[in-house]
A and B are shown apart, each in its own frame.
Chain A
Amino acid sequence: MAVTGAILVGFLIAHMIGNLKIFLGASDFDHYAEWLRTMGEPAVPRRTVLTILEIVLGVSVLLHMWSAISLARRARAARPVKYQGKKKSNAQGYATHTMRYGGVVILLFVIWHLLDLTFYAVNPKGSDATPYDRVVADFDASRWYITVWYVLAVLLVGLHLRHGIWSAFQTLGLRSPRNNNALRGLAGGLAAVVTIGFIAVPISVTFGWVS
């Protein structure tokens, strides 16, 4: 959970920074998209590095889900008779309680997102458009509901990170009373940066700041 989560956090940060290139204009953004495919050339053929990264990501997501599902199943088995009284949670914040259903929503989002901007199946523009045009068409003001869906999913990613990053340090035995506040700060800070960085793009297109 912690190791695969960390790989996914690294991916999210890189992906977010890449997305922000949209504010530098169409040619910069498209040039970056092209670079993703030509990384490592001419030492290795086109798309080699990108494909390796995609495999690492895919395996990480699968292992992360597998751990989450086994933990959830063990939890269900560990308490066969539920409490009758009103369920009380006395600890920590809201984010902790969103981890399981949030993870499922994030997965559904990732599937939609791949169909949208990787395979173009649900994108208004097809494969003959540029990456920039596909993003701009995707979040057009007339398609505001797509923007809302992206924003909600990213907010859940933010909550997932807010608990998950701190939790990963605890799982690896790296948290102590001395670094606890720093780790809470790191988790909250990274969650906020990633959330705002991702949300900036669809919002800017919908409001016409990027066209």
Chain B
Amino acid sequence: MKLTLRIWRQKGPQDEGRMVEYELDDISPDASFLEMLDVLNERLITEGEEPVAFDHDCREGICGMCSLVINGTPHGPERMTTTCQLHMRKFKDGEVIDVEPWRARAFPVVKDLVVDRSSFDRMIQSGGYITAPTGTAPEAHSVPVPKADADHAFEAAECIGCGACVAACPNGSAALFLGAKVTHLGLMPQGQPERWDRVVSMLETHDEAGFGGCTNTGECTVACPKGIPLDVISNLNRDFLKATVGGKKK
């Protein structure tokens, strides 16, 4: 395949950054999007140029490291798929492809396509945990959980913390990520002791980090590679109202 890439290049956090065009030829339609970038980088290195920096780790859709806004859509055109699992056969021969980093004040660019997502870590530190001593894996039937709750909690726990929801949101809000954590832990018996503190302090950390406010546009759930549903935001709002207006938070 022949491709024209327009990639965001930025030397460091202070650099202004710009889109730079690259022509690529002979790309296999079976290559993944990241393998295609590997091919470009090998060429840049042999030509003595700085390779394009981008995040990746597992390359199997489970770690949440890969990012990239491809043609205006986080993780590219294929639904429920991370960038690392996206293949070039989803593009047309001769296509012009725009590649940009996640854009959010809370995700500052480190270099090229790499952004700093530690604001997500700070949100987790402020409440995305349980305090019960876990020890080794317990006998599965010792703490009964209703099947429906277990299923919903598992669905929410599929969030890999990639940040595509923020990248897609016109408000730059991380409500889907936050909702996934609050739903996941809030549905389990082990998550109950911290439930009302969790939602309030995680939301405070969210706002302090500079994420925007949710207006229910629904862009996040469509961009999410794990298909985390909008229901988690309804749960987040419900728990927040119960904790504050309902006086559940001590």
Contacts and interface: CB of A to CB of B under 8 A. Distances in A.
B69 interface: yes
B72 interface: yes
Nearest to B79: A90
A177 B194 CA distance: 26
Contacts of B170: 75, 89
Contacts of A90: 73, 168, 219, 222-223
Contacts of B223: 90
Dominant secondary structure of chain A at its interface with chain B: loop
A175 interface: yes
Contact of A79 (B71, B105, B233, B237): B105
B241 A81 contact: no
Contacts of B6: 84-85
A37 B206 CA distance: 48
Q: Which interface class (under 10, 10 to 19, 20 to 34, 35 or more) fits A?
A: 35 or more
B100 A176 contact: no
A131 B213 CA distance: 43
B136 interface: no
Given A78-B171, A170-B233, A99 B215 contact: yes
A78 B212 contact: yes
Dominant secondary structure of chain B at its interface with chain A: mixed
Q: Which interface class (under 10, 10 to 19, 20 to 34, 35 or more) fits B?
A: 35 or more
A92 interface: yes
A86 B240 CA distance: 36
Interface in B145-185: 168, 170-173
Interface in A65-85: 70-71, 74-75, 77-85
Contacts of B235: 173
A109 to B, nearest CB: 21
A170 B237 contact: yes
A78 to B, nearest CB: 3
A77 B105 contact: yes
Contacts of B227: none
B238 interface: yes
Given A83-B103, A170-B216, A74 B72 contact: no
Interface in A149-172: 163, 166-167, 169-172
B142 to A, nearest CB: 29
B27 interface: no
Nearest to A2: B237
Interface string B217-250: 1110111000001110111111111000000000
Contact of A78 (B17, B72, B104): B104
A5 to B, nearest CB: 12
Given A71-B171, A74-B171, A81-B103, A91 B221 contact: yes
B54 to A, nearest CB: 16
Interface string B64-108: 000001011100000000000000000000000010100111100
B51 interface: no
Contacts of B240: 173
B98 A75 contact: no
Contacts of A170: 216, 230, 233-234, 237
A77 B71 contact: no
A174 interface: yes
Given A78-B106, A96-B217, A85 B72 contact: yes
B218 A92 contact: yes
B192 to A, nearest CB: 18
Interface of B: 6, 8, 17, 19, 69, 71-73, 98, 100, 103-106, 109, 168, 170-173, 210-213, 215-219, 221-223, 229-231, 233-241
Among all A-B residue pairs, the 3 with the closest Cβ atoms: A173-B238, A78-B172, A85-B98
Given A74-B213, A91-B217, 8 more contacts: A71-B171, A74-B212, A77-B212, A88-B72, A88-B73, A90-B223, A173-B237, A173-B241
9 contacts: A71-B213, A71-B215, A78-B105, A85-B69, A88-B73, A91-B219, A167-B216, A171-B237, A172-B238
Interface of A: 1, 70-71, 74-75, 77-92, 96, 99, 163, 166-167, 169-177
